[in-house]
Amino acid sequence: MSAAIEFKSLYKWFGKRIAVNNVNLEIQPAEIFGLVGPNGAGKTTTMRMLVTLLKPDKGEIFVGGYSIAKQRNDVRRIIGFMPDSFGVYGDMTVSEYLDFFGACYKVNPHQRQKLISDLLDLVDLGPRRADMVDTLSTGLKQRLGLARVLIHDPQILVLDEPASGLDPRARVEIRELLLEIARLGKTILFSSHILADVAELCSRVGIIEAGKMVAVGTLSQLSEQVMPHRQVKIGLLARLPEAMALLAAMDGVRAVRELDGVKYAALEVDFIGGDEALGGLLSALLAQGLPVIHFSEATKNLEEVFMRTTKGIIS
């Protein structure tokens, strides 16, 4: 199966500053791909090139097999884009707004009203269809933006910071909406600063910094790359030095550190090995009669991966 989106040796300069630096990436159909990176990393520039708003200085992008340079209209037909900040026509009603964009995408006028009703139901804006767009809250405008993106039934959605500026409830609602849209079989590429959203939604993540794609993969793959060892937290009631000495001498243990800021005595152990070997650590401690009150493996989260991967460089 050919990739839904394919970036090939992509470069973009703004004057002397390089904004996108040799990005190579493939996103498969029906995949939810998250693009994360610090401010100024090149996420928006990459997306704007993808949706045919910006011209790459070097390299090529294919969307559904179409070249953005040579088959712009074909690309626009199968792609929907929601910019990080977008305006609305305040003097239109919700329904008129979608009708207007339906006309811009040359959707059959006879099918448009039914389509608009379906989309408004999907984004839970059905009861607000006759309201002026200006009267909607930020969260509702964002939902209307998602309905607009879907008006021509594109196979690929490109969403730049779809949850930015939203309150926690609206954020959760947008996240659920994206999952619902993904269930329709759409390919979604979205960027976000909210790493928890990316971790929850995305099948794969790309970390971009200073215009370069520094890491790509599933969350567990990325964790493996940046943190090859397992991290175990052990809590003890007493006899901490004895436990440290015992653990340091065991196979697979790479480092043992005393943890501060915990209400009981605690250790952090970097460990390489399978689950059985991990169980062996606990057994050894208990066999020595050490008073273990806590034993858990730290979950690897995207935030930690992100912090370890990026250096805070702005292109």
Partner 1 sequence: MRGWKGAILFIAYLTLLSFFVLSFYAAFAVEAQSSFSIENSQIAGKLIFGTVVVSELLMVSFIAPALTSGAFASERERQTFDLLKISLLSGLELVLGKLSAALSYLLLLAFAALPLEALAFLLGGVGLAEFLISTLMLFMTALFFCALGIFASSFSRRVIVSTVLVYGFNIISTFVFFLGIFLLAIFESASAASSQPNPLAASFFGSLLWFLFSTNSLFAAFASEALLVSENSLWLVNGGGIFGSMNAVLLSPWIIYVVVYALGSLFLILFSAYIVNRME
List residues near partner 1 by CB under 8 A. 51-55, 72-73, 76-77, 79, 81, 83, 85-89, 91, 101, 104-106, 148, 152
Helix axes 275-287, 240-248, angle to 10 degrees: 140
**In the complex with partner 1, which residue's Cβ is closer, 105 or 295?**
105
Instruction: Identify residue 215 by its one-letter amino acid code.
Output: A
Number of residues in the chain = 315
**In the complex with partner 1, which residue's Cβ is closer, 128 or 152?**
152
Phi, psi of 224 (to 5 degrees): -60, -40
Place of tokens 């200006």: 134
Strand partners, 207: 36, 215
**In the complex with partner 1, which residue's Cβ is closer, 107 or 243?**
107
Q: How far is the CB of 225 from partner 1 (least distance, A)?
A: 35
Burial degree of 273 (CB within 10 A; 0-12, 13-18, 19+): middle
Q: How far is the CB of 142 from partner 1 (least distance, A)?
A: 14
Q: In what order do the strands lie in the sheet with 265-271?
A: 253-259, 265-271, 230-236, 292-297
Q: How far is the CB of 51 from partner 1 (least distance, A)?
A: 5
**In the complex with partner 1, which residue's Cβ is closer, 61 or 207?**
61
- DSSP letters, 122-152, are HTT-GGGTTSBGGGS-HHHHHHHHHHHHTTT
- Please say whether the beta carbons of 156 and 82 come within 8 A: no
Identify the three-state secondary structure at position 9.
strand
**In the complex with partner 1, which residue's Cβ is closer, 108 or 299?**
108
Q: How far is the CB of 101 from partner 1 (least distance, A)?
A: 7
Q: How far is the CB of 76 from partner 1 (least distance, A)?
A: 6
32-36 and 204-209 as β-strands: parallel, antiparallel, unpaired? parallel
**In the complex with partner 1, which residue's Cβ is closer, 188 or 222?**
188
**In the complex with partner 1, which residue's Cβ is closer, 89 or 264?**
89
Q: How far is the CB of 131 from partner 1 (least distance, A)?
A: 16
Q: How far is the CB of 146 from partner 1 (least distance, A)?
A: 13
Q: Report the alpha-carbon distance of residue 152 to residue 149 in Å, rounded.
A: 7
**In the complex with partner 1, which residue's Cβ is closer, 155 or 221?**
155
**In the complex with partner 1, which residue's Cβ is closer, 125 or 201?**
125
Q: How far is the CB of 72 from partner 1 (least distance, A)?
A: 8
* Alpha helix (H) residue ranges in the chain: 43-50, 72-78, 94-104, 109-122, 138-149, 168-183, 195-201, 219-226, 240-248, 275-287, 302-309
- Please say whether the beta carbons of 272 and 229 come within 8 A: yes
Q: How far is the CB of 160 from partner 1 (least distance, A)?
A: 10
